[in-house]
Structure 1
């Protein structure tokens, strides 16, 4: 039987006995083998942080100076627990945006047509957005444009490791068909790993993969409710 300190959530800083599985039907990945998809350990039982939120906060606190540096951050469709963490950092110039904001603190932002000037932000966080956008190349170019030279970001998407090319079909338009094809009614594609990296590189980003199991240990990965195959896609704007 697992004891209380078997797992750890970096979002709420609690040691817990178990994570909670994703609800049935939340995402149906069909035959795709996905990175960063942990259905049995998806959610923290205390703060409800998703597996990807735990990965992001771990990376930000362990591998960057984000929580201490005086930098500007653009966070697209902010995840609740990541936003809560960054909101505590008075050093940040922190801007949250979404196409359809649900609160007065989030700005109305179209990621394919950002109204910010070139090189406005040191850090850009855009997670699980690009798979919803038909012209993802336009969105990537905008994210690259508003990032400062020397800046970095997290660009995460649902990503399959068992396909060579991203799967997308413009004939798939209804919510029901999109759920069957891509696993979620709002998605318009499932990315292939190498193809996704190439798309990011094509607009100018340098892509770095961060893997906790490779840098630390499989045990550390499992402690966070993650898998050894889970990668974080870090982008850099070098020039």
Structure 2
């Protein structure tokens, strides 16, 4: 089964790079991540979480990726430096390329199950000593881990004083609750954990603050005030979410 899964991924990548730019050519929407325009974005999700214009046909970035990309572009000079210690959990390919180009040595990718990363690691039990990282990027991960508070605490522990993190999650509920059953149950041959073991609400920010973080939350309109431009970039839908930017307080003097 794993062979067929790898073959499927290879065929999908070929389709994305060769067929999609032709099939979806146009200028109705623009993906800032790969800097290409298309006739429309592709749908994603199912049921009540279906999103009609979510995925870039070329780079496969989703609304959350495009939103984070805009945030990072606006803050790149402030946040990213060469050779900083930067941990990227569950790395997205295009964002990984961007981070590696900006940082170089010091950029680390990590994931619990994937083989295409530098470090195999559980975010609930990070392999690094206290205060060793300058930054962490961990996008849409905490909703899939059994103990998200422990994972958040681990991020706080390994960050240096003054260090920052982007720790976005999907917000589907009025208040955070544990899911009785995962939102995505894997087939028996797939050894990855089931997805969406909890549904987050706006009180997610309080969880971050409970761990000690200073928090800022950026909505799509904070990063792009023009409604037509938000639509053009595909970050105008209700499932786009927010950028949750946090800092570990600086060391007291």
Q: Flag whether TM exceeds 0.5 (same fold).
A: yes
Runs of 4+ in 1 over 6 A off after TM superposition: none
* Deviations 1:153-178 (CA, angstroms, capped at 9, x unpaired): 11111212x52x21215x547966xx
- Equivalent residues of 1:6, 1:18 under 8 A apart: yes
Aligned to 1:193, the other structure's residue is in SS state coil
- Equivalent residues of 2:182, 2:196 under 8 A apart: no
How many residues in Structure 1 have an aligned counterpart in Structure 2? 216
Matches within 5 A, 1:1-239: 4-22=26-44, 26-29=45-48, 39-65=51-77, 69-70=81-82, 71-91=84-104, 93-103=106-116, 105-160=117-172, 162-163=173-174, 165-169=175-179, 172=181, 185-194=194-203, 196-215=204-223, 216-227=225-236, 230-239=241-250
Q: Judging by fraction of residues, say which structure has more helix.
A: 2
For residues 29 and 217 of structure 1, what CA distance do their matches in structure 2 show?
27
Q: Please, which runs of 5 or more residues in structure 2 have no aligned partner?
A: 1-24, 186-192
For residues 222 and 50 of structure 1, what CA distance do their matches in structure 2 show?
13
CA gap of 1:115–1:68, structure 2 versus 1, over 3 A, is closer
Report the TM-score when normalising by structure 2. 0.76
Report the TM-score when normalising by structure 1. 0.80
- Equivalent residues of 2:183, 2:195 under 8 A apart: no
Q: Please, which runs of 5 or more residues in structure 1 have no aligned partner?
A: 31-37, 177-183
